Amino acid sequence: MRKQYDFSKAKRGPVVAVPAGKTRITIRLDDDIIEWFKEQVEEAGGGNYQSLINAALREHMKQVQEPLEKTLRRVLREELKKAS
């Protein structure tokens, strides 16, 4: 190992830039939740469990914003489809 390194052209910050529209956060989730999402990704043949969590949160947001009538119609369609 060299005694002196030249850092005059070095840049501070992360090596990999965060994509636009994404924010890096720290969040604590229960172990069983993380395991479930990792298993889903593994069963699907690969991917990113963080993206899957993001998609689940986005789907929840859509459902929360969905009017009650639309929610009832969607649930009824799903249940009728299962019954047939």
Q: What is the pLDDT of residues 41-79, one digit of tens each?
A: 999 999 999 999 999 999 988 888 878 888 889 899 999
Give CA–CA dist 35/14, Å, rounded. Answer: 27
Give CA–CA dist 22/19, Å, rounded. Answer: 6
- What integer pLDDT is reported at residue 1 of this predicted model? 57
pLDDT (tens digit per residue) in 6-40: 888 888 876 777 788 888 889 999 999 999 999 99
Give CA–CA dist 37/29, Å, rounded. Answer: 11
State how far the alpha carbon of 22 is from the alpha carbons of 25, 30, 57, 76, in Å: 10, 23, 14, 35
Give CA–CA dist 57/51, Å, rounded. Answer: 10
- Residue 18 structure tokens: 């965060």
- What integer pLDDT is reported at residue 11 of this predicted model? 81
